[in-house]
A and B are shown apart, each in its own frame.
Chain A
Amino acid sequence: MITINVAMAVVLAVLYSVGFYLLLQRSLMRILIGIVVLGHGANLLLQLAGGPPARAPVLGTALPEEFADPLPQALALTAIVITFALTTYLLALGYRSWVLTGRDEVQDDVEDRRVAERERPEGSMEEDAEGPDDEEDPGSAAASDRTDEPAEVSGSGAAR
């Protein structure tokens, strides 16, 4: 008796599909619109979950048994307002980003791309193993007499 009907299920499916599709785009504005559409879908879902159409829950206009479930409505109302707040904030963010970068597009992370192109990590142990040995033998007695004068620090010079 409370089941979402077929027509509304179709509306929900379309709203969510379009929302997801726009979210997967690269244009910042499209993504934002996708979020708005998803918000609409979510609000509708909340309301529909309360049950089929019924009388407005206002005392004196109908019997309490004829009322639509007020709780999902209250939650959906909160959700609508929060969606609005989110939308305006994202809009301002997107605008600011566009002003600063001149782009309305979500870029790929350049650093991640660089990692993907690399064969081995930075500071690789393998590199350390392949490199030439230092002039000085660190296990020697002479090395143990070294004092902290900067000139003594050998070329491999890791920062200490």
Chain B
Amino acid sequence: MLALVVAHLVVAALLPLVSRRSRRAAFGIAAVLPAATLVWGFAHLGAALGPGLEETVTWSSALDLELGFRLDALGLVMIVLVGGLGALILAYSAWYFGKDSRDAPRNSALLLAFAGAMLGLVLADDLLTLYVFWELTSIASFLLVGQGGLHRANRRAAVQALLVTVLGGLAMLLGIVFVGESAGTYRISEIVAAPPVGGLAATGIALILVGALTKSAQAPFHPWLPAAMAAPTPVSAYLHAASMVKAGVVLVGRLSPGFADRAEWWVPIAVLGLVTMLIGGWRALHETDLKRLLAFGTVSQLGFLMVLFGSGDRIGEVAALTMLLAHGLFKAPLFMVVGIVDKVTGTREVGALSGLRRGLPGLAVAAVLAAASMAGVPFLLGFLGKEAAFEAFVHQGLYYDPARGWVLALGLLTGSVLTVAYSARFLWGAFADKPGVEPVDPKRPARGLLVPTWTAAVAGLVLGCVPPLVNALAQPYADAYPATDATEADYHLALWHGFSLPLLFSVVALAVGLALHVGRDRITGLHRTLAHPLSAQRGYEVVVAGLERAATQVTGRVQVGSLPVYLGVLLCTVLVLPGIALLTGGAWPRDQSLVSSLLQLPLGLIVVVAALALTRVRRRFTAVLLVGAIGYGIGGLFVVDGAPDLALAQFLVETLTLVAFVFVLRRLPAHFDSDGGTDTASGNRPRRGVEMRKAVLATVAGVFVAVAGVVLSGARQQPPAASGEFVARAPEAGADNVIAAILVDFRALDTVGEITVLLIAAAGTASLVLATRFDRRRKAGGGTPEHEKEVLG
């Protein structure tokens, strides 16, 4: 199974080579693999409907990760949609996209890659494997909706689809980890066999549900799906009707056998599913764009499927699998019909189309077949599914759980009424004669467009007329749920169950739905007068805008671009983190003396006075002299401490530093504050309050360092053994001076490193100074730094 998935991706990667020659051939080649997948699926029919076909590939044994796949009844149905409809839609695309279409190469490769990812998703038996493919389909959807990013509508829709589904995906990943860890396995079949209990598992289930609900466009996340209609119609037919949006539903269907009896699972599914079904149906009644009408219809049907898969009822699950198959088989051809209508007339607007039933009679028949299946007309697959759905909840309402059963049964009835109404509206909108509208004169659609459409539509009729075939697919899946009584155990899909409540429901749905369509003007009026206080799309926009504003504000606050502020933050961090550790863990040493040698006092006083004076001086030269005083004072302290080598180095270095400073200072202004007469920034002269804050922060930080030095040095008990060793071994190095022995012998490599640093610094300094001299020589006459600035700055 992994090989099949990988084959899709590999061929997709190579496809651009073909599409450079011929766009049509590329789509043709792309259609081969999904078709082969369908054949492969049916070749393993026995295993799929029986024990299931498993395959495990070790991914990383060290991390205990594996790619687990399993073909079962649900997987097989999805293969019909992903592989079968995929092949049809790719073949359709060959004629849908123009021969030289700029979008065709990208779409053919991406559609095939998506088919591979989707195949992996529906076959996955490991939650982490499933997650990987889940996100791959989200990315494919982003790329296919976004197209080249040329149009605002594409960009907006692609980003919305990505943000919403990936938000759900990330929540799901967390949920997967929770569930997987509490179950001790990530295998879906094992988790369902022994579902984990407890708070962690319950949280995980809720998070996984967020992923499923966003992916399948359930309220309140649904607006991304109608927006995604900015994609080309074949993409909408494949991703946003037949396959990808089913991912959430399929995930619910996979986990329901283990969790359907838990309130945290079925309550949100039932409530949101029903609400989605009603909202989608209601919105579909008012769309004038045929494609968006179908999109809201898909939202509605996805809600229906959610309710069925989450029911945990044996008959309900039979209905779920049947409706899953039926929805793919009627929604994909309906989208293809819209694509053809758009192609031959140049519009999808209900108000502009008229008389097409005479212009395109063949297409109209295919559309009627598909729409009738959607509406639940007998002899079509949709009817079988809907009958079973009514039976499930009526049965539940009559015998087990009246409240839940009747609410769901009547809710689904209302949804079905809306479904019938918008199915009729679709047919009327696309094909009917409309008074006052000029009949359009369509071009002849290509046969390559018609054949796939017809194939899918007729499949719904054939399967609808032969219920045992569908039964054979649906029963093995439903067997995962316990039957509570004989009715449930014996339930089979059939065209005729006798005069019963479900049949009455079907009749009512058809009759009221058609009545709604007849009274459509009044309904439209009602829709206009109803205010919309809550709009999910508006909610999404407000959230995204809020995020952007918040991100900008946080960046503006955090990244102020001021060096003193950054340093201040660093110092505060030093004070807070190690400072607290010092206060709580450190102990003030008891044996601290006031002063070790009297000579330390005058020397220390020189250093302190010079340092404090440094903060007050305005003249640069004075400042440099004060730095020199500090340096020499510290050199003196080194002598007192018994470190003549240090003192020597300190005196030498200090002298050199002074010389270097003087060289530079003679070119700079005398005072700190007169930095260049043209300084524009001098307007924001430091304010007193800011200076005070700096002084306080610096003082506290300085005191902290001193206190830390005292406390830490007091914690030391013995001189390190290494020092004694160095002293003892110094004669072996042939040196009297232990320091010299350490520097040039024991730690000679350190010294080499130090010399390297000196060399690099010298090279850097020299090049900087030489660059300035070079600039100066280049301009004749040379001059003051201000002059250089004018030329170079």
**Measuring CB to CB, which residues of chain A are less than 8 angstroms from any residue of chain B?**
1-27, 29-30, 33, 36-37, 40-41, 43-45, 47-60, 64, 67-71, 73-74, 76-78, 80-89, 91-96, 98-113, 115-121, 124-126, 128-129, 131-134, 136-148, 152-154, 156-158, 160
23 A–B pairs (Cβ distance < 8 Å), ordered by A: A5-B595, A11-B604, A18-B614, A18-B698, A20-B697, A20-B702, A29-B668, A44-B637, A49-B712, A58-B736, A78-B754, A85-B758, A99-B775, A100-B788, A104-B669, A112-B560, A115-B552, A138-B150, A138-B154, A139-B236, A144-B96, A158-B149, A160-B149
| Complex Cα–Cα for A25 and B728 (A) | 48
Q: Is the CB of B544 within 8 A of A12?
A: no
Which of A24, A27, A67 is most buried by chain B, counting CB atoms within 10 A of its CB? A24
List 6 additional contacts besides A11-B607, A160-B149; criterion CB under 8 Å. A11-B604, A26-B686, A27-B672, A110-B561, A118-B552, A134-B151
Q: Which of B691-717 contact A (CB under 8 A)?
A: 694-695, 697-699, 701-703, 705-707, 709-710, 712-714, 716
Q: Is the CB of A21 within 8 A of B548?
A: no
What is the minimal beta-carbon distance from A61 to any residue of chain B, in angstroms?
A: 8
Q: Is the CB of B563 within 8 A of A106?
A: yes
Q: Do A126 and B545 contact each other (CB < 8 Å), given the known contacts A70-B727, A157-B150?
A: yes
Which of A5, A27, A128, A160 is most buried by chain B, counting CB atoms within 10 A of its CB? A5
| Complex Cα–Cα for A108 and B161 (A) | 39
Q: Which of B435-483 contact A (CB under 8 A)?
A: none
User: In this assembly, does B719 line the interface, its C-beta being within 8 Å of a C-beta of chain A?
Assistant: yes
Q: Is the CB of B642 within 8 A of A84?
A: no
Q: Is the CB of A2 within 8 A of B679?
A: no
Binds A, one of B52-60, B114-122, B646-654: B646-654
Binds A, one of B33-41, B97-105, B485-493: B97-105
Binds A, one of B164-172, B258-266, B623-631: B623-631
Binds A, one of B61-69, B133-141, B243-251, B764-772: B764-772
Encode contact with A along B744-762: 1 for CB under 8 Å, 0 otherwise.
0001001100100110111
**Residue of A at shortest CB range from B596?**
A52
Q: Is the CB of B608 within 8 A of A91?
A: no
What is the minimal beta-carbon distance from A89 to any residue of chain B, in angstroms?
A: 4
Q: Is the CB of B761 within 8 A of A85?
A: yes
Q: Is the CB of B549 within 8 A of A119?
A: yes
| Complex Cα–Cα for A70 and B703 (A) | 27
Residues of chain B with a CB closer than 8 A to A128's CB:
152, 155-156, 159
Residues of chain A with a CB closer than 8 A to B291's CB:
139
User: In this assembly, does B519 line the interface, its C-beta being within 8 Å of a C-beta of chain A?
Assistant: no
User: In this assembly, does B611 line the interface, its C-beta being within 8 Å of a C-beta of chain A?
Assistant: yes
User: In this assembly, does B534 line the interface, its C-beta being within 8 Å of a C-beta of chain A?
Assistant: no
| Complex Cα–Cα for A132 and B638 (A) | 75
Encode contact with A along B764-786: 1 for CB under 8 Å, 0 otherwise.
11001101100100000000011
Q: Is the CB of A104 within 8 A of B675?
A: yes
Residues of chain A with a CB closer than 8 A to B737's CB:
57-59
Residues of chain B with a CB closer than 8 A to A58's CB:
644, 736-738
**Residue of A at shortest CB range from B228?**
A139
Q: Is the CB of B567 within 8 A of A140?
A: no
| Complex Cα–Cα for A62 and B81 (A) | 94
Q: Is the CB of A102 within 8 A of B678?
A: yes
| Complex Cα–Cα for A51 and B764 (A) | 37
Q: Do A105 and B679 contact each other (CB < 8 Å), given the known contacts A4-B709, A6-B594, A140-B342?
A: yes
**Residue of B at shortest CB range from A2?**
B716
Q: Is the CB of B660 within 8 A of A88?
A: yes
Classify the secondary structure of A's interface with B: helix
| Complex Cα–Cα for A57 and B669 (A) | 46
User: In this assembly, does B564 line the interface, its C-beta being within 8 Å of a C-beta of chain A?
Assistant: yes
Residues of chain A with a CB closer than 8 A to B348's CB:
140
Say which residue of A16, A101, A117, A124 sits within 8 Å of B705 (CB atoms): A16
Residues of chain B with a CB closer than 8 A to A129's CB:
156, 541, 544-545
Q: Is the CB of A81 within 8 A of B561?
A: no
Q: Is the CB of A102 within 8 A of B676?
A: yes
User: In this assembly, does B557 line the interface, its C-beta being within 8 Å of a C-beta of chain A?
Assistant: yes
User: In this assembly, does B723 line the interface, its C-beta being within 8 Å of a C-beta of chain A?
Assistant: yes
User: In this assembly, does B17 line the interface, its C-beta being within 8 Å of a C-beta of chain A?
Assistant: no
Q: Is the CB of B232 within 8 A of A53?
A: no
User: In this assembly, does B581 line the interface, its C-beta being within 8 Å of a C-beta of chain A?
Assistant: no
| Complex Cα–Cα for A137 and B743 (A) | 77
Q: Is the CB of A3 within 8 A of B710?
A: yes
User: In this assembly, does B681 line the interface, its C-beta being within 8 Å of a C-beta of chain A?
Assistant: yes
Residues of chain A with a CB closer than 8 A to B597's CB:
52-53
**Residue of B at shortest CB range from A149?**
B102
| Complex Cα–Cα for A68 and B697 (A) | 35
| Complex Cα–Cα for A110 and B737 (A) | 55
Q: Is the CB of B607 within 8 A of A53?
A: no
Q: Is the CB of A71 within 8 A of B726?
A: yes
Residues of chain A with a CB closer than 8 A to B758's CB:
81-82, 85
| Complex Cα–Cα for A14 and B701 (A) | 10
Q: Is the CB of B561 within 8 A of A99?
A: no
Residues of chain A with a CB closer than 8 A to B46's CB:
none
Q: Is the CB of B643 within 8 A of A85?
A: no
| Complex Cα–Cα for A3 and B717 (A) | 10
What is the minimal beta-carbon distance from A33 to any residue of chain B, in angstroms?
A: 6
Q: Is the CB of B730 within 8 A of A59?
A: yes
Residues of chain B with a CB closer than 8 A to A120's CB:
545, 548-549, 552
Residues of chain B with a CB closer than 8 A to A154's CB:
150-151
Q: Is the CB of A24 within 8 A of B698?
A: yes
Q: Is the CB of B719 within 8 A of A69?
A: yes
Q: Do A93 and B548 contact each other (CB < 8 Å), given the known contacts A40-B631, A139-B229?
A: no
Say which residue of B634, B679, B714, B724 sits within 8 Å of A44 (CB atoms): B634
Q: Is the CB of B765 within 8 A of A77?
A: no
Residues of chain A with a CB closer than 8 A to B561's CB:
108-113, 116
| Complex Cα–Cα for A51 and B562 (A) | 40
Q: Is the CB of A36 within 8 A of B657?
A: yes
Q: Is the CB of A2 within 8 A of B643?
A: no
| Complex Cα–Cα for A33 and B630 (A) | 11
Q: Is the CB of B98 within 8 A of A145?
A: yes
| Complex Cα–Cα for A119 and B738 (A) | 64
User: In this assembly, does B593 line the interface, its C-beta being within 8 Å of a C-beta of chain A?
Assistant: yes
| Complex Cα–Cα for A16 and B589 (A) | 21
**Residue of B at shortest CB range from A156?**
B152
Q: Do A13 and B703 contact each other (CB < 8 Å), given the known contacts A1-B591, A70-B726?
A: yes
Which of A9, A25, A84, A138 is most buried by chain B, counting CB atoms within 10 A of its CB? A138
| Complex Cα–Cα for A18 and B609 (A) | 11
| Complex Cα–Cα for A51 and B728 (A) | 19
